Amino acid sequence: MTTQEVILEVENVSKGFPGVKALDCVSFDLRKGEVHALVGENGAGKSTLMKILSGVYQPDSGTIRYKGKEVIFSDVTQASKAGIGIIYQELNLIPHLSVAANIFIGREPLTPFGMLDENKMNADAVAALNKLHIHLDPKTILNKLPISKQQMVEIAKAISTDSEVLIMDEPTSALTESEIDELFTVIHTLRDRGVSIIYISHRLEELKHIVDRISIFRDGHSVSTDNFDAIDSFEIVNRMVGRKLENLFPPKQNVPTTEKLLEVRNIVRKGILHHISFDLYKGEILGIAGLMGAGRSELARAIFGADPVDSGDVVLNGYKVSIKSPPDAIKAGIAYLSENRKEEGLAVKMQLSANITMANVQEISRRFGVLSRSREIEATQQYVKKLLIKTPSLYQVVNNLSGGNQQKVVLGKWLFCDSKILIFDEPTRGIDVSTKYAIYELIGALAQEGRGVIVISSDLPEILGLTDRILVLYEGNLTATLTTAKTTQEEVLNYAAGVATSDKRTAYKADQKQTHTQTRTQL
Amino acid sequence: MSERMTETIKKEPSEIKGTVGQNGGVLLIRTLEKFLPFVAVIVLFIIFSLTARNFFTIRSILSLALQTSAITIMGIGVTFAIITGGIDLSIGSVIALTGTVAVMVARAGVPIWTSMIVGVGVGSVCGLLNGLMITKLKLPPFIATLGMMMIARGVALTITNAAAYPAPEGFGGLGNGTILGTGQKFPGIPIPVLIMIAVAIIFAFILTKTRIGRYTFAVGSNEEAARLSGIKIKQVKHVAYIISGSLAGLVGIILASRMVTSQPNSASGYELNAIAAAVIGGTSLMGGVGTVGGTVVGSFIIGILTVGLTMAGANYYMQQIVIGLVVVGAVAIDQLRARK
């Protein structure tokens, strides 16, 4: 439980990289047995500080005191030996090894003959998992487990090295609601055992369940540290962005029409999607909610032709179209902004211009497939301006752009295709508050222009704040079609968890002429 | 080479915008680094001109270009395969097969030029088969082209019964001809060198200025992103391997023509030199990165080292050691650069 004893203290630490001062005289303290949230926009310096604490970087100046002694960790091993563990957003595990092998990697117990002591390793792994009240077979191969369980393995690994400080970087970004609850239980267990936790997250609403104190970073400075009870969410956001942000969502711009743009009929992908039908209207923003594995992305990918389907029809503007592959979908005017931008959205080694034009190279081609440099520059400039992409040049390699700007590049790519239907899959994951706002505005503007927009998101406040109607999926079934203005987070969750079902056919017809009120969310 | 330079020059103005305010020196170093392989060629050239007698003569330069033409043309082809994220190990064997087929077809009475086109066509077919194995059977490119390497070699040996057959009259023109020769003073530019220059220009253009070139990079940089952007991945890969196979076929008939015989055992191990040339020139085996100009420079580094070391009196084994060190060194420098 929280005491006043400070286990880790950072004082006036600075760290610069060529051209950037990532941390500028930052101070921060962590008490024994507390969960301390660290929030800030991308580039605020959170990750840099975490990397210094875990030994990846060394500070340029300033002091770090750990258990009363001044320390500088020259590498990760030193930090972890001292008892500081870190769990990155991208898990650091080996998919083809067993749970136990992952937990004890690099420090495997040996028999007197120098062979691997599998029995001891498995027994110790069970013990480590039990401490967290997790029940897993230590012999399971890691990649057979869902992400949430893999994360538990990562935590068990950190705990088994007797970590006293545990840093968690966006631990919930890949988890479903119920998995998040499970994670929070584990965090509570850890706190009760006296482990101090630094918790980094973009999702402010989840902090209230676990956090004791909160520190806010902005532009490489530490802005404030408060007891979590003493500060409200709007104040947190204001301090993060450094200016008043009245609202998390822009005022509603679009007015849905009654003109059907897209009709999806009885899409079936065996074992994954079961007879899903819905309509999308011109000027409408339609949300798709559901837990992880409910088939949200799969539904989008089925419409886009990215995955094969077993049956089902897609009707565009009243005409049935056959979409068998992404090129068919793009020709029909459908865009799909995939969930993982680095894996599926961007060619990160290529230039900004090449990425913007990637899905519509025809547009910048002359005869015989020869590219027109000037048309490419023109197109790129247009979207860099329109989307306010921050880049030193049009030819910047995309890998060197920040996450928010990368997301804007993906957006630019699909805007350049002049798509009539845009499917956004987790458009704001891992993106800072002000870029989020810009993306929401853009989504609104796209719908206002008469396009149809589908937004898939795990972030319920986002779905509620942005959309006109919401489809809720549960295990590949459409369990409800709700009117956003008339629903609540609880109702959506009930349908998403399969607790309730509704007659989807009557649900939305009745609600076509609703008026839209801005859905404010309590963070 | 020229393509690489103009590329660099064109890119600079835009990058200046981003960096000049912060650090002009960094930009200078970056520019030098980009030219590094090219600078290496010049430095090597100067060193050998000073240490090996007769190195810096028109005759030896032409002979160097002629000797390097085979690996350069192959290297350009395999660069396409490598940029898609693949590899083509079959090109050495395809050279032997295509040369052999061209000679055998010509011996059967088919006109020389037709038989040569047949030879190149066999190379294209081998490339297409590689592509199909990779896209339809989902084989890793290493395995598919390793198989093709063995099969093509085996077919070449089978149809000739492992013997070398002389080619008919006139078959040697392509490999041994020259143009612009003035007798004693200037021996003329060998036709293979002209072909090499033409191939370099055409394929540099295809790679950097056309849609298929753009798609080649996109597939190698991120296959799934390219697929979801509507790019037909399989087609792009087929084209890359057909280019690789066809250029190997072209080298096959050039070499057969130079020797005026079918040599089913020829060009063994050439594929590794071609891959080495691409890698020295900055092509990444991870895919998504590479230039034709870089591969040309890489080939010439290997060529100059081979010829220069021979003329400087180093034996074959020594040459192998040096070239091995250059391959390792070139990639190490690239890695260090990437880390910065």
Using a CB–CB cutoff of 8 Å, tell me whether B82 touches chain A: no
Among A396, A418, A440, residue at a domain's last position: A418
Tally of helices (H runs) and strands (E runs) in chain A? 16, 20
pLDDT at A391: 85
Range of lowest pLDDT (A37-46, A129-138, A264-273, B130-139): A37-46
Give A499 or A279, the one with higher predicted confidence: A279
Assess contact for A496 and A480: CB atoms under 8 A: no
Same domain membership, residue A475 and residue A410? no
Average pLDDT of the segment spanning A237-245: 70
Q: A493 is written with which tokens?
A: 């969750």
Q: B320 is written with which tokens?
A: 């192998």
Q: Is the pLDDT of residue A300 over 70?
A: yes
Range of lowest pLDDT (A144-158, A359-373, B198-212): A144-158
Residue at B12 is within a domain: no
Average pLDDT of the segment spanning A38-47: 80
Q: pLDDT above 70 covers what percent of chain A?
A: 93
Place of tokens 């066509």: B121
Kindly indicate the confidence band of residue B332, based on its pLDDT and cuts at 50, 70 and 90. confident
Give B26 or B287, the one with higher predicted confidence: B287
Task: Mutation target for A interface from B135, B215, B228: give the one with most A CBs within 10 A.
Answer: B228
pLDDT at B20: 36
- Range(s) of the domain holding residue A253: 247-333+419-512
Task: Count Cα atoms within 13 angstroms, Cβ side, for A325.
Answer: 10
Domain count, chain B: 1
Average pLDDT of the segment spanning B260-278: 92
The 3-state DSSP class for residue B180 equals coil
- Range(s) of the domain holding residue B101: 57-339
Task: Count Cα atoms within 13 angstroms, Cβ side, for A164.
Answer: 12
The full length of chain B comes to: 340
The residues, any chain, with a CB within 8 Å of residue A91's CB and separated by 6 or more, are A147, A150, A151, A154
Residue at B43 is within a domain: no
Q: What are the beta bridge partners of residue A477? A: A474
Residue at A504 is within a domain: yes
pLDDT at B40: 82
3-state per-residue secondary structure call for B102-141 = HHHHHHCCCCHHHHHHHHHHHHHHHHHHHHHHHHCCCCCH
Q: Is the pLDDT of residue A243 over 90?
A: no
Same domain membership, residue A405 and residue A280? no
Q: Could you tell me the CATH number of the domain that includes residue B330?
A: 1.10.3470
pTM for this one?
0.77
Q: What is the largest CA-CA distance in chain A?
A: 77
- Please, what sign has the CA dihedral across residues A268, A273, A279, A283? negative
Name which of B18, B23, B225 is nearest A392 (Cβ-Cβ). B18
Average pLDDT of the segment spanning B126-135: 98
Q: B71 is written with which tokens?
A: 């690996």
- DSSP codes of every residue in A343-385: III--TTSBHHHHHTGGGGGGGB-GGGBB-HHHHHHHHHHHHH
Kindly indicate the confidence band of residue A159, based on its pLDDT and cuts at 50, 70 and 90. confident
Using the beta-carbon criterion (under 8 Å), do A395 and B15 form an inter-chain contact? yes
Q: How far apart are CA A174 and CA A112, in angstroms?
A: 41
pLDDT at A107: 82
Q: A55 is written with which tokens?
A: 């030994």
Q: Is the pLDDT of residue B107 over 90?
A: yes
Same domain membership, residue A272 and residue A328? yes
pLDDT at B252: 97
Residue at B38 is within a domain: no
Q: Is the pLDDT of residue A254 over 90?
A: no
Using the beta-carbon criterion (under 8 Å), do B221 and A349 form an inter-chain contact? yes
Assess contact for B317 and B303: CB atoms under 8 A: no
pLDDT at B7: 38
Q: pLDDT above 90 covers what percent of chain B?
A: 64
pLDDT at B37: 76
pLDDT at B220: 95
Q: How far apart are CA A350 and CA A380, in angstroms?
A: 14
Name which of A331, A338, A369 is nearest B228 (Cβ-Cβ). A338
Give A7 or B5, the one with higher predicted confidence: A7
Q: Is the pLDDT of residue B306 over 70?
A: yes
Q: How far is CA B338 from CA A28, A72, B293, in A?
A: 33, 27, 20
Between chain A and chain B, the number of residue pairs with CB atoms below 8 A apart is 96
Alpha helices for B184-315 (secondary structure H): 191-209, 211-221, 223-228, 233-259, 270-280, 292-311
pLDDT at A275: 93
Among A183, A212, A241, residue at a domain's last position: A241
Kindly indicate the confidence band of residue A368, based on its pLDDT and cuts at 50, 70 and 90. confident
Residue at B317 is within a domain: yes
Same domain membership, residue A438 and residue A322? yes
Kindly indicate the confidence band of residue B81, based on its pLDDT and cuts at 50, 70 and 90. very high
Q: Is the pLDDT of residue A508 over 70?
A: no
Domain count, chain A: 3
Same domain membership, residue A358 and residue A428? no
Residue at A523 is within a domain: no
Q: How far apart are CA A304 and CA A308, in angstroms?
A: 10
pLDDT at A77: 84
Using a CB–CB cutoff of 8 Å, tell me whether A20 touches chain B: no
Give A149 or A522, the one with higher predicted confidence: A149
Residue at B37 is within a domain: no
Kindly indicate the confidence band of residue A264, based on its pLDDT and cuts at 50, 70 and 90. very high
Q: What ipTM score was computed for the predicted complex, to two decimals?
A: 0.79
Residue at B335 is within a domain: yes
Helix (H) or strand (E) holding B158: helix B141-160
Q: How far apart are CA B127 and CA B200, in angstroms?
A: 19
Nearest Cα residue to A23 out of A245, A215, A233, A237: A215
Q: Is the pLDDT of residue A337 over 80?
A: yes
Q: Is the pLDDT of residue A43 over 80?
A: no
- DSSP codes of every residue in A412-470: HHHHHTT-SEEEEESTTTT--HHHHHHHHHHHHHHHHTT-EEEEE-S-HHHHHHH-SEE
pLDDT at A392: 85
Same domain membership, residue A439 and residue A383? no
Kindly indicate the confidence band of residue B14, based on its pLDDT and cuts at 50, 70 and 90. very low
Q: How far apart are CA B144 and CA B241, in angstroms?
A: 11
Fill in the DSSP letter of residue A499. Answer: S
Strands (E), A90-185: 165-169
Give B182 or A502, the one with higher predicted confidence: B182
Average pLDDT of the segment spanning B188-206: 96
Same domain membership, residue A456 and residue A349? no
Same domain membership, residue A396 and residue A289? no
Q: Is the pLDDT of residue A407 over 50?
A: yes
Q: pLDDT above 90 covers what percent of chain A?
A: 41
Kindly indicate the confidence band of residue B339, based on its pLDDT and cuts at 50, 70 and 90. low
Among A241, A275, A302, residue at a domain's last position: A241
Kindly indicate the confidence band of residue A41, based on its pLDDT and cuts at 50, 70 and 90. confident
Task: Mutation target for A interface from B219, B229, B236: give the one with most A CBs within 10 A.
Answer: B229
Give A486 or A42, the one with higher predicted confidence: A486
Task: Count Cα atoms within 13 angstroms, Cβ side, for B78.
Answer: 37
Determine the distance in angstroms separating the CA of A286 from the nearest CA of chain B, rounded to an integer.
Answer: 21
The full length of chain A comes to: 523
What integer best gives the mean pLDDT of chain A?
85
Write out pLDDT tens, residues B30-56: 666 667 778 888 888 888 888 877 777
Q: Is the pLDDT of residue B160 over 60?
A: yes
Residue at B47 is within a domain: no
Determine the distance in angstroms separating the CA of A411 from the nearest CA of chain B, rounded to an integer.
Answer: 12
pLDDT at A44: 80
Amino acid letter, A184 = F
User: Quick one: closest CA in B to A364, which residue?
Assistant: B211
Fill in the DSSP letter of residue A128. Answer: H
Average pLDDT of the segment spanning A196-212: 85
- CA dihedral (B285, B291, B292, B297) in degrees, to 10, reads -90
Q: At what angle do helices B141-160 and B112-135 cross, to 10 degrees?
A: 150
Using a CB–CB cutoff of 8 Å, tell me whether B228 touches chain A: yes
Same domain membership, residue A370 and residue A289? no
Same domain membership, residue A166 and residue A110? yes
Using a CB–CB cutoff of 8 Å, tell me whether B215 touches chain A: yes
Q: How far apart are CA B226 and CA A467, in angstroms?
A: 29
Residue at B28 is within a domain: no
Assess contact for A253 and A445: CB atoms under 8 A: yes
Average pLDDT of the segment spanning A139-149: 87
Name which of B23, B227, B229 is nearest A413 (Cβ-Cβ). B229
Q: B285 is written with which tokens?
A: 């085996």
Q: How far apart are CA A85 and CA A471, in angstroms?
A: 40
